[in-house]
């Protein structure tokens, strides 16, 4: 039988249990202990500007998750997809830009163009999330970018405005909108804390010109926009430097200059038409084992390539079994090349058909060779 009067007992070593007493101070009234509430008034101009930027641009940010992964519960009991991420509305045709790694599990199964690889939640004007199928248009693993397409009504499609990352300055304000840990449309504010950072993609290729920010970026922010104080897209949030898996105040975004070069090609061709040499470059580890500490060592040169016609030499094995090093590219048009990653980074500045002058180390001599660049697959 439950006692009518609740009691509290001490631990066994205290022999004096007592009856619980009501707490409070009956000598005061509710009115006497209720402080005055002051109206919040108008926001400061800087606050109002940030609020307006968020309210205007949040409709251009979508929630994306990989259809091949199952939802999980986070520490707060909120269900989030394992492949949860963000994206931006690119144009009025329903193209959505995100990171390759956000839908990487679905892409690893080699889906055909037009196949559904993600679910995309778009925020409607009434504040309701509307769900759409995200069909694959194209993806570039090297630059960690992917383009999806949704069939949504015109009133839901609100393209983001794209700005110039080339004019950014360290110290200027920036804003990030995304879906960290599954919490949709979250705003964080910070500054540009570094420029021209190297971001290493999952293929080992360096994404140059990365924008560093201290705006909090966490899992789920990937693929979302980094914006300047005018609300223009200056980067796609893609990585954090962390030892705990959460924001440590150092986040990185793919600059809008790179996004502008990659995304239109993905939409038109489904892939990136990348300039380069149709030669095989030794991985840095292999090059180091062969005592090549500076430059990009050529391993193979296909016989029908423009590189072969230009006279580039591959690495070979002599009659005695000794390795004879091929040409080592140390510069392209006077741009220094210290590794394979740097060579691929240099190619980003060129188009198919461009003629460049390679400075190569051949044996103990330096040679300059003019070469026409061709389409190169990574």
Contact 275, 283 (CB under 8 A): no
CB neighbours (10 Å) of residue 348?
Answer: 20
For residue 184, what are its two tokens? 């949709």
Cβ-contact 344, 141 below 8 angstroms: no
Say if CB 19 and CB 5 are below 8 A apart. yes
Count of other CB atoms within 10 angstroms of residue 376: 17
| Cα separation, 37 vs 54, whole angstroms | 28
In the beta sheet, which residues pair with residue 200?
206
- How many Å apart are CA 250 and CA 213, to the nearest integer? 6
User: Which pairs from 133-139 meet CB under 8 Å and 24+ separation?
Assistant: 134/64, 134/96, 134/103, 136/107, 136/111, 136/112, 137/95, 137/113, 137/266, 137/267, 137/270, 138/113, 138/265, 138/266, 138/267, 138/269, 138/270, 138/271, 138/272, 139/100, 139/103, 139/107, 139/266
In degrees, to the nearest 5, what angle opens at C-alpha 121 toward C-alphas 257 and 80?
A: 100
The torsion of the CA quartet 200, 204, 206, 212, rounded to 10 degrees, works out to 0
Residues that are catalytic = 101, 144, 222
236 φ/ψ angles, rounded to the nearest 5 degrees = -105, 115
């Amino acid at each position: 039988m439950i006692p009518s009067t609740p009691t509290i007992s001490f631990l066994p070593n205290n022999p004096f249990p007592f009856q619980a007493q009501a707490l409070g101070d009956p000598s005061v009234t509710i009115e006497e202990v209720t402080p005055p509430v002051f109206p919040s008034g108008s926001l400061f101009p800087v606050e109002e500007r940030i609020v307006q930027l968020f309210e205007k641009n949040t409709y251009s940010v979508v929630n994306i998750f990989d259809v091949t992964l199952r939802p999980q519960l986070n520490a707060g009991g909120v269900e989030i997809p394992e492949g949860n991420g963000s994206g931006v509305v690119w144009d009025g045709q329903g193209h959505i830009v995100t990171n390759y790694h956000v839908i990487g599990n679905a892409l690893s199964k080699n889906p055909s163009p037009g196949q559904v690889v993600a679910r995309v939640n778009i925020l409607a004007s009434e504040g309701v999330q509307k769900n759409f199928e995200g069909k694959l248009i194209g993806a570039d693993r090297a630059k960690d970018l992917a383009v999806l397409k949704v069939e949504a009504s015109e009133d839901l499609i609100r393209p983001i405005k794209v700005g110039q990352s080339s004019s950014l300055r360290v110290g200027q304000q920036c804003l990030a909108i995304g879906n960290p840990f599954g919490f949709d449309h979250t705003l964080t504010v910070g500054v540009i804390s570094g420029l021209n950072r190297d971001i290493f993609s999952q293929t080992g290729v360096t994404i140059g010109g990365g924008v560093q920010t201290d705006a909090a970026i966490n899992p789920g922010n990937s693929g979302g926009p980094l914006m300047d104080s005018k609300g223009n897209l200056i980067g796609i949030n893609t990585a954090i430097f962390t030892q705990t898996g959460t924001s440590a105040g150092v986040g990185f975004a793919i600059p809008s200059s790179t996004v502008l070069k990659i995304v239109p090609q993905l939409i038109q061709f489904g892939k990136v038409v990348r300039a380069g040499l149709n030669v095989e470059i030794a991985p840095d580890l292999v090059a180091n084992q062969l005592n090549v500490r500076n430059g990009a060592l050529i391993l193979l040169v296909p016989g029908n390539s423009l590189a072969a016609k230009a006279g580039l030499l591959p690495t070979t094995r002599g009659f005695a079994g000794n390795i004879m090093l091929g040409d080592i590219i140390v510069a392209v048009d006077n741009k220094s090349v210290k590794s394979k990653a740097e060579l691929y980074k240099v190619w980003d500045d060129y188009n198919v058909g461009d003629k460049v002058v390679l400075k190569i180390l051949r044996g103990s001599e330096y040679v300059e060779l003019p070469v026409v660049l061709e389409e190169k697959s990574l």
